[in-house]
């Protein structure tokens, strides 16, 4: 049995669904169900005996201790985090509380659980911490991509809080011997992504004939990783990664934000010509840039490719086509997440231009 935290969010839910589809090992899924946690993401496994959902906080030490003692997981995969830069700019405290304080309390309970183990159970236990490339800071247009030894230089409250959690995980390995694994991934996209992020936000607005807000000049560069590829990479690290090591996970797909948006618009012109406004590129609207907006991220994933034999299976073109098709095929899911709270956030972030 494994314990997954944050398993009702975007990446966590995709991981849980993939895991249950690919193997018979049960999953305990612990999620606080904040705004981005959505049980509709897990509707297809409702009633499946191998999936136990528990609503709760990784910082709730009594709850975590009870789950560990009762279910005896052989591994823990930690997706739980506040994860959106824009929200961290407006309200950094939640990010410190969850990503730093919550991770600390969680690690303390994991350490106590592991220390009480013996023999092979203890030797084979793993704690896998899922993090982000944003901890490395920003790159210039010709800089080499981030490697696992790139110095941390976080530039937002979000990335600073994730950097702090990464450091805690590293310290618990080097100080206490806890068998940890850390992954730092590039920008994920795919099914079930909460529509505050670029790709689902553009999808929703374009189909509704609303403006497509693009920060600054739209030339910020990200490496785009299809979420299914990310999930397969995490499974590879959990299976064969070396305790104490860090593995960067990237999609080999560097794209500017404006290129991503124009690609989606072109696909929608063909797949959804009934939108109120076509061609969809007419909806592109440039808005004031985000405070401290990092210019470029790029991942060097040669370590995981070389040591674990993992490579992404999707190009950006194949992955974005799957993603656009999924959102078009699931209007009920989209309508469910576009709640009053979400609309309030969009208006606060982009004003009348969204």
Q: Which residues are catalytic?
A: 133-134, 158
d(CA 336, CA 314): 28
Contact 190, 312 (CB under 8 A): no
User: Mapped to the 3 state alphabet, what secondary structure does 320-338 carry?
Assistant: HHHHHHHHHHCHHHHHHHC
Contacts of 330 (CB under 8 A, 6+ apart): 191
Residue 140 φ/ψ, nearest 5 degrees? -80, 170
Please report which residue ranges of the chain form alpha helices under DSSP H.
Answer: 10-22, 61-71, 85-90, 93-95, 103-115, 119-124, 157-176, 198-208, 227-240, 257-271, 302-308, 316-329, 331-337, 340-350
Q: Are strands 254-256 and 221-226 parallel, antiparallel or unpaired?
A: antiparallel
DSSP-derived letter for residue 247 is E
Please tell me whether residue 345 adopts helix, strand or coil conformation. helix
Q: How many residues are listed for the chain in this entry? A: 354
Query: In the structure encoding, which two tokens stand for residue 196, read together?
Result: 């505050």
């Amino acid at each position: 049995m494994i314990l997954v935290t944050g398993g009702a969010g975007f990446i966590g839910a995709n991981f849980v669904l993939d895991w249950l589809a690919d193997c018979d090992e049960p999953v305990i899924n612990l999620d606080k169900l904040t705004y981005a946690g959505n049980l509709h993401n897990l509707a297809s496994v409702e009633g499946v005996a191998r999936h136990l959902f528990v609503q709760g906080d990784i910082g709730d030490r009594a709850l975590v201790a009870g789950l560990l003692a009762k279910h005896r997981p052989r591994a823990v995969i930690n997706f739980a985090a506040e994860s959106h830069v824009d929200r961290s700019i407006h309200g950094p405290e939640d990010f410190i509380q969850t990503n730093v304080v919550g991770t600390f309390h969680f690690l303390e309970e994991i350490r106590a659980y592991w220390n009480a183990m013996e023999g092979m159970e203890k030797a084979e236990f793993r704690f896998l911490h899922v993090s982000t490339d944003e901890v490395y800071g920003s790159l210039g247009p010709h800089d080499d991509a981030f490697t696992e030894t790139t110095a941390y230089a976080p530039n937002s409250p979000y990335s600073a809080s994730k950097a702090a959690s990464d450091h805690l995980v590293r310290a618990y390995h080097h100080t206490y011997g806890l068998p940890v694994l850390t992954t730092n991934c590039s920008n994920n996209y795919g099914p079930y992504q909460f529509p505050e992020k670029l790709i689902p936000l553009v999808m929703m607005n374009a189909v509704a004939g609303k403006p497509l807000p693009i920060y600054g000049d739209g030339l910020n560069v990200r490496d785009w990783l299809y979420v299914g590829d990310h999930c397969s990479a995490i499974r590879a690290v959990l299976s064969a990664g070396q305790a104490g090591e860090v593995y960067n996970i990237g999609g080999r797909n560097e794209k500017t934000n404006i290129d991503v948006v124009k690609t989606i618009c072109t696909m929608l012109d063909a797949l959804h010509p009934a939108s109120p406004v076509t061609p969809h590129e007419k909806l592109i609207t440039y808005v004031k840039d985000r405070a401290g907006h990092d210019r470029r991220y790029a991942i060097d994933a040669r370590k995981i490719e070389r040591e674990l034999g993992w490579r992404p299976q999707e190009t950006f073109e194949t992955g974005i086509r799957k993603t656009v098709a999924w959102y078009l095929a699931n209007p009920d899911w989209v309508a469910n997440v576009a709640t009053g709270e979400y609309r309030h956030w969009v208006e606060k972030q982009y004003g009348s231009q969204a």
